[in-house]
Amino acid sequence: MANRAESSAGSLPCWVVAAVFAAGIVHLAVSLRALQVTSAADYNYASARQSVRRMQTAGLRGRILDRHGEVMAGNRPSLSIVCLPSGFEKRSWSNTVSAIERGIKEVGEAIGRPSPLSRMAISRHVSQSLALPLYVWRDIGERELAVFSEREREFAGFTVIKTAERVYPGGSLASHVLGYVGRDRGEIQSGDEKFSYFAPEMRGRSGLEAYYDGFLRGVPGEMKLLVDARGFAIREWTVLDATPGPDIATTIDLRIQKEVERQLQGERGACVVMDPRNGEVLALASAPGFELNAFVPTLSTETYARYIDDPAKPLLNRATGGAYAPGSTFKPVTALAALGAGHTADEEYICTGAYACGGMTLRCMSRWGHGPLDMCHALMKSCNPFFCNLGMTTGTNAFCRAARVFGLGSKTGLDLGVDRAGVVPDGDWKMSTYGEKWYPGDLAQMSIGQGMLLATPLQMAMVAGAIGTGSLVTPHLRLDAAPESRPLPFPESHLRIVRKGMRMVVAGDGNLRGTGWRGGEGVPVSVSGKTGTAEVGAGSSRRKNAWFIAYAPSDAPTAAVALVVENGESGGLTAAPKVCEILKAMFAEDGT
């Protein structure tokens, strides 16, 4: 009791304090449970969100093959020297950038190549994609690789990465068909906005590379990168392997394509060779072409400027994107329209060398006139007054209907990005485009393929083939595409007349030569065709585009060709011999 008396403290405060302690500990336990058990998933997500970066990876791009399996666009391994930023971590970002800059300079001196990256570019990489390797020298050569590998241990933080680059074995061969690729971040798949990075990926920019881009690219994969608080990559692992894109077989026959391009060498022009039975495009060329490998790994600014500034416009695909006045190659269509409107093949017209209509005079090739002609001979001689008269007496509507039956004035549906519709003018069109009335002279001009009428070489090849087979096919470049065709709404008797005329263009009649006689010389099969010499421009810029369209063999066509050469002499002189060479190459060996 003595102790008690001296003590100031009872035991009650101890219990109170103990109760407070217990309450405090329980409070902490309950709060921690809420955090670590109830909301653990939320915090796990928050943790992953800040420390795990998702990267979309690209699969190997599929190849583009010709119809016999020959590679037109493939892949080759490419080695790049990259810098891994985590090896250069410094306290401050600017010191990190400087360290990388010094490292690049050192390696650059060793391999004898200057640093391609500005401090700004390095800085951008550090601030935006620190977790990824920084590509310094892309696509290095063997010598550089040897030097680098020898001294790799000195170059801490640098390594060699193997990627794939596009390669075009043919160089500029079929350049407008294939198109080129650029480097791009990958396609953002829907619902995958959560990707932080996209592996640089090849992306088709034109031609088949662009049209079938999604097909060739395959299915992207996914990689995850673990990054620390500053953003440096600590670890990476693959979640899903990217699936390589499938190869694509085209209808192009490289043998024919090469011959076509040889014929167009040095010219500005275009040529399309197709199979009129199923629409397979066997060759499609536009001249001048361009070097496809110049776009790999990236097109240099100088080369790009050269292509863009070139007045010959090498990047333009004239075969599908160049709209030309078809000139006299259009006359078979005029003939069919007239036959449909009640004209007959035997009607004769006396050509005087000129056709006057509505205050203007259209001249004929034959200065003094062809004299009396029937339809087949008018085709053979390509008589302008004859067809002007025929068109004028047929009428605009029937005429335009016939032209549209051949697909003129609308897109062909070719599986290539560039596909111009051309123009089949009529009264409404002229009014809405130029705000002018439709004059009889317009119809006269159109009857001979001049004036406002425009068509692409591909469309004219379709016209030639359709006349030869009797049905119009949709052209396509993908070999396994299903053929699409629709029969022409002309009676077989009418077609036979036009075919006879077109055969006479090449084969002549007795002693008389047709305008396109050079188109069939030495070709082992019979050729039917039509020449065209379209005058474009006026005054000093007046020039002639030389055309030749053909199909062969005449009785059962397996090939339809259209060829145009800008600034040529005439269809018969300039274009027909080139088509002749192409047909000779095609039918020389096996007759396909």
Partner 1 sequence: MKTFLARFDWLMLAVMLALVSAGTVAIWSAGSARAETVFHGMWVNNLVTAAVGLTLYFAIAAVDYRRTLDFLALPGYVVAIACLVAVLVFGTSVYGGRRWLWFFQPSEISKLFVISLVAWLFGRRRIPLLNIQVAGFRAFLLLAVAVGIPVALILAEPDLGTALTLLPAVAVMAFAAGVWRRGLAAIAALGGIAALAVLGAVYEAERPGVPAARREQIMRFVPLKPHQVRRVKVFLFPETDVTGAGYNLRQAKISIGSGGFSGKGIGRGEMNHLKYLPQSISMNDFIFCVWAEETGFVGSAVLLALFAALLGCGCRAALVSTDGRGRLLALGVSTLVFAHVYVNIAMSIGIVPITGLPLPFISSGRTFLVTVMCGLGLIQSVTIHREEQQT
Contacts to partner 1 by CB under 8 A? 3-11, 13-18, 20-22, 24-25, 27-29, 31-33, 35-37, 39-40, 42-44, 46-47, 50-51, 226-230, 234
CB under 8 Å to 292, separation ≥6 — which residues? 73, 168, 170, 171, 172, 175, 178, 180
Please name the amino acid found at residue 578: K
The CA-atom distances, in angstroms, between 146 and each of 115, 238, 427 are 18, 29, 71
User: Concatenated DSSP letters for 60-123?
Assistant: PPPPEE-TTS-EEEEEEEEEEEEE-GGGG--SSHHHHHHHHHHHHHHHHHHHT------HHHHH
Q: Which C-beta is closer to partner 1: that of 48 or that of 239?
A: 48
Residue 128 CB, shortest distance to partner 1, in Å, is: 17
Q: Which C-beta is closer to partner 1: that of 237 or that of 482?
A: 237
Specify whether the CB–CB gap between 277 and 270 falls below 8 A: no
Q: Which C-beta is closer to partner 1: that of 12 or that of 538?
A: 12
Residue 49 CB, shortest distance to partner 1, in Å, is: 9
Residue 91 CB, shortest distance to partner 1, in Å, is: 10
Residue 238 CB, shortest distance to partner 1, in Å, is: 19
DSSP single-letter state for residue 513: P
Q: What is the rounded CA–CA span in Å between residue 462 and residue 486?
A: 12
Q: Which C-beta is closer to partner 1: that of 33 or that of 68?
A: 33
Q: Which C-beta is closer to partner 1: that of 20 or that of 219?
A: 20
Residue 37 CB, shortest distance to partner 1, in Å, is: 5
Token digits of residue 14: 């101890």
Residue 97 CB, shortest distance to partner 1, in Å, is: 19
Residue 32 CB, shortest distance to partner 1, in Å, is: 5
Q: Which C-beta is closer to partner 1: that of 53 or that of 176?
A: 53
Q: Which C-beta is closer to partner 1: that of 127 or that of 300?
A: 127
Token digits of residue 418: 């560039």
Q: What is the rounded CA–CA span in Å between residue 248 and residue 323?
A: 29
User: Concatenated DSSP letters for 364-384?
Assistant: PSSTT--EEE-HHHHHHHT-H
Specify whether the CB–CB gap between 384 and 446 falls below 8 A: no
- Residue 402: helix, strand or coil by DSSP? helix
The CA-atom distances, in angstroms, between 375 and each of 188, 357, 378, 394, 444 are 60, 20, 5, 14, 17
Residue 120 CB, shortest distance to partner 1, in Å, is: 25
Q: Which C-beta is closer to partner 1: that of 223 or that of 534?
A: 223
Q: Which C-beta is closer to partner 1: that of 27 or that of 411?
A: 27
Residue 2 CB, shortest distance to partner 1, in Å, is: 9
Residue 3 CB, shortest distance to partner 1, in Å, is: 4
Q: Which C-beta is closer to partner 1: that of 226 or that of 365?
A: 226
Q: Which C-beta is closer to partner 1: that of 4 or that of 194?
A: 4
Residue 43 CB, shortest distance to partner 1, in Å, is: 3
Q: 39 — phi, psi (to 5°)?
A: -105, 20
Q: What is the CB neighbour count within 10 angstroms for residue 325?
A: 25
User: Concatenated DSSP letters for 497-512?
Assistant: HHHHHHHHHHH-BTTB
Return the ∠ at Cα 551 (arms to 548 and 557), rounded to 5°. 175
Q: Which C-beta is closer to partner 1: that of 227 or that of 378?
A: 227
Of the chain, the end-to-end C-alpha distance in Å amounts to: 126
Q: What is the rounded CA–CA span in Å between residue 513 and residue 339?
A: 24
Residue 19 CB, shortest distance to partner 1, in Å, is: 10
Half-sphere exposure of 516 (CA within 13 A, CB side): 37
